Structure formats: structure tokens, C-alpha cells
Amino acid sequence: GDSVTQMEGPVTLSEEAFLTINCTYTATGYPSLFWYVQYPGEGLQLLLKATKADDKGSNKGFEATYRKETTSFHLEKGSVQVSDSAVYFCALSDGSGTDKLIFGTGTRLQVFP
């Protein structure tokens, strides 16, 4: 079945460092891809998404490009801030119209001043 694999954390960075969190997927159809973020004590929030190959999702300085050839959707940010500390989840929707999401395990990001 469909699945999502993302790098284990925690990822620990200094403020203003470059961030990459890897995410790869396995899907039989044409999924949409998502990154969700969960700040401490809060629910998951949609960070960005891409619905077809070569689409780039972006929000709050974060970017991810839907790469069908490598089945990847890596999350990047050029300069992280302490406020970016959170857990990041990569997810896919199988495109069947059911709105079901399949999640990766989540990657905790810790940014220190």
C-alpha cells in the first residue's frame, strides 16, 4: 500500500542554519503531498502542499518540490528560527477523493539561539 518515509529526528540546528528534512513516498496512483507542522501543545497545521509532479509548495519560508522521478518531497528552509521548533510530518493523500492522509513518523526540529 501507499506509504511515507521521513528522516528520523531530532534535528538540532542553530538559528539561521539551513534545514532539510527528507521525505520519500510510495504510491500507486497520483498522490497529493503535504507537510504538516505541530507546535507544542497544538494540533497539526498544514504547512504546505503540492498536488502534482514538479509543483513547489511554499509557506513561511519553507519549500518542498514534488519530485516524481525520485518519489520525494523534501522540506527545506534557508534560515531557521527558534520559533520553527516543532514536529514536522510528511503526508500523502491518495487522490481517491476520500481525503484520507497517510503520514510519516514525524521529525522533531529543535532550533537553538
Partner 1 sequence: GAVVSQHPSWVICKSGTSVKIECRSLDFQATTMFWYRQFPKQSLMLMATSNEGSKATYEQGVEKDKFLINHASLTLSTLTVTSAHPEDSSFYICSAALRNTEAFFGQGTRLTVV
Q: What is the rounded distance in angstroms from the CA atom of residue 3 to the CA atom of residue 45?
A: 20
* C-beta separation of 105 from 25 below 8 A: no
57 scored as a contact of partner 1 (CB under 8 A): no
Q: Which of residues 25-54 bind partner 1 (CB under 8 A)?
A: 36, 41-46
Q: Binding segment for partner 1 among 22-30, 58-66, 70-78, 96-104 (CB under 8 A)?
A: 96-104
Q: Shortest gap between Cβ of 15 and partner 1 (angstroms)? A: 26
Q: What is the rounded distance in angstroms from the CA atom of residue 73 to the CA atom of residue 17?
A: 20
| Nearer Cβ to partner 1 (35/113) | 35
Question: Which cell numbers in the block locate residue 37?
Answer: 507542522
89 scored as a contact of partner 1 (CB under 8 A): yes
Alpha carbon distance, N-terminus to C-terminus of the chain: 41
Which chain residues interact with partner 1 by CB under 8 A? 4, 36, 41-46, 89, 97-106
